[in-house]
Structure formats: structure tokens, C-alpha cells
Amino acid sequence: MGTSVSIDGVLVDPGTASVPVMDRGFLYGDSAFEVTRTYGGQPFALGAHLVRLRRSCERLGIAVGAPDDALRAEIAAALDAAANPESYVRVIVTRGVTEIGLGVGQGQTTRRIVVVLPLPAQPAALYEDGVELATVMTARSLDGTGAAGAKASNYLPNILSLASARARGGYEALSVGAGGEILEGATSNVFIVRDGTVWTPPLELGILEGITRGLVLDAARDEGVEVEQRLFFPHDLYTAAEAFITSSLREVVPVVRADGVVLGDGRPGALTRRLHAAFRRCAEDVLASERG
């Protein structure tokens, strides 16, 4: 099981792979990124991840610096070099090195980095027993900017929210906006189930357009389950029959408690399980279509 790193298309020794200390990704978190995983060695929904990476870079004014074909080849080479049964894949595009100071300057030297790691195993208990969420009032790094919703690397608000949630026994932090509305997890999107209908916050709130979120919404529609993208508040979560979070690495994780309040019967919900199974079927279709 191995790690591999490619910088600007060149595989480098992962033990010594480095970027200059003046790289703005290091100095300011001035970069965008994507994370996906492999299934059967094949990177999942790479097309959708590359579309989102370009959209993030566009919102941040960072040039990706390579066409999709080149990015795909760089990812494939890194996966080959790591030779894992299943891998975690991270792609980062930083604005690179400029004169010191916040000004983005001219002629940016953007840098692309691909990191492949062995896929971290998710404990079975996450899915069998469900998890607890802890709400955290927080502003995210791009809130109120024209780049809201971009997957920028500055995750300090998310890191601090997660630390606060973990200190209260939560598995995941759930960010709550200034109006008390529920937004998203530190590294996940959130859904609740009320009266058989699935609610999830709308993208207009500046949340990340999760790839898993999109597929779960498709899967719910295929299953004939009603879905509403709408504002909701902690009280709606506490009184929901079911809840779950989604992310590329974890798929669909049932939520059984929020801020110490037991949801429904305190067990992973039946609709949550059904949507997870439907997500897996959608994922199979995505993988088959990507294999061509």
C-alpha cells in the first residue's frame, strides 16, 4: 500500500515532495482542491470532480494550467505508482508563488499537485450505529464573497468547528449560519427526513455542491422519494425522523443524535438505508459509464 505525489505532472518521491514556502497555497490557503476515492481502482466521478475543480478555480481566479486529459493522465499515473487496492485521491491547484503580499499580481505560476494515499477504512459502526452531529455557529472562509461555494483549501473554520463538535462528543460539526439556518458539515452535506420527505439545504446558501449530495438527490428521485432543497433550522433536525450526512469518502452515514437529542428511534433510519443502497446503484452506473 503506497502513497504517490505528482507535481505539475511529474511523479516525485512522496517522502520529500515539497512546494516552496512562498507558495500562496501554503501562505494563505490560496488554492482549490478536490477529493475522490477509487472503486475497483477506478477514480469515482472524476468528470464531475474536474468540472467542480474548474468552477472553484474560476471563482478564485486561479488558472488550472492543464486540460482535463492531462489531469486525468496525471491522476492515472499517480494511482499506478501507488498501486493500492483502493485509493484516496486529492488534486490541488494553488495560485503558486507571487511577490509577498495579498495582491495576486500578474503571470501567476499556478501549481498542480496530485496526492494518492491508501483509502482510509471507515469503521463499520458508522453505518451500523449512526453518528452524532454537533451544531456550531460559524462563518466559513468564503461566506459573503463572490467565490462562495468554491472548494477552496482554507478549511480553518471547518477545522475549528470540528474541534468544537468533537469536544462535545459529536462525530461531525454542522455549521449553522447567522440566521440560525443549517448549512453543511465540516466535510459533508446534510439531509433530514420528515414525513417521508427528504430536506437538504439549498446551494444558494453558499454550501459546497457535494458530488455525493447530487447523486443522492438523483437516487431519491429514482426511488420516487420527494426531495426539497430548503432552509431548515436545528429544531427541524431535532424533530426529524431520520438524518444523514454525505461525502465522497463516506458515502451516506446515518445520524442518530444531534446536540444530544435522539432522532426518531435512535437507530439508523430505513429511508437512509434505502437511499444509501440507491446511491450505490447510481455509483455503479457512473463507474460503468466512465469505463466507457
Ligand X SMILES: Cc1ncc(COP(=O)(O)O)c(C=O)c1O
Query: Any contact of residue 188 with ligand X (CB under 6 A)?
Result: yes
CB 203 within 8 A of CB 213: no
Could you tell me which residues are beta bridge partners of residue 125?
A: none
Helices 68-82 and 46-60: angle between axes, nearest 10 degrees: 120
According to CB under 6 A, which one of 189, 191, 243, 252 is a site residue for ligand X?
A: 189
Burial of 116 (0-12, 13-18, 19+ CB in 10 A): buried
Site string for ligand X, 20-59 (x = CB under 6 A): ---------------x------------------------
246 counts as binding ligand X under rule CB under 6 A:
yes
Residues 133 and 257 sit within 8 Å (Cβ to Cβ): yes
* 153 binds ligand X, rule: CB under 6 A: no
Least distance between ligand X and beta carbon 150 (Å): 11
31 backbone dihedrals φ, ψ, rounded to 5°: -160, 165
Taking alpha carbons only, the member of 276, 279, 283 closest to residue 127 is 276
* Opening angle at CA 95, ends 89 and 17, nearest 5: 50
CB of residue 177 vs ligand X: minimum separation in angstroms?
Answer: 13
Q: Which residues on adjacent β-strands are paired with residue 131?
A: 255
Cβ proximity to ligand X, 109 vs 154, nearer residue? 154
98 contributes a contact to ligand X by CB under 6 A? no
Nearest CB to ligand X, comparing residues 120 and 266: 120
Of 59, 95, 213, 276, the one binding ligand X by CB under 6 A: 213
Please say whether the beta carbons of 248 and 52 come within 8 A: no
Smallest gap from residue 3 Cβ to ligand X (A): 20
The Cα 82–Cα 117 span in angstroms is: 7
Cβ 143 to ligand X, closest distance in Å? Answer: 12
Which of 162, 173, 192, 211 lies at the binding interface for ligand X (CB under 6 A)? Answer: 211
Between CA 287 and CA 43 the distance in angstroms is 8
Nearer to ligand X by C-beta: 184 or 242?
Answer: 184
- Taking CB under 6 A as the binding criterion, the range among 10-18, 106-114, 184-192, 259-267 that sits at the site for ligand X is 184-192
Min dist. Cβ of residue 186 to ligand X (A): 6
* Contact footprint for ligand X (CB under 6 A): 35, 184, 187-189, 208, 210-213, 246-248
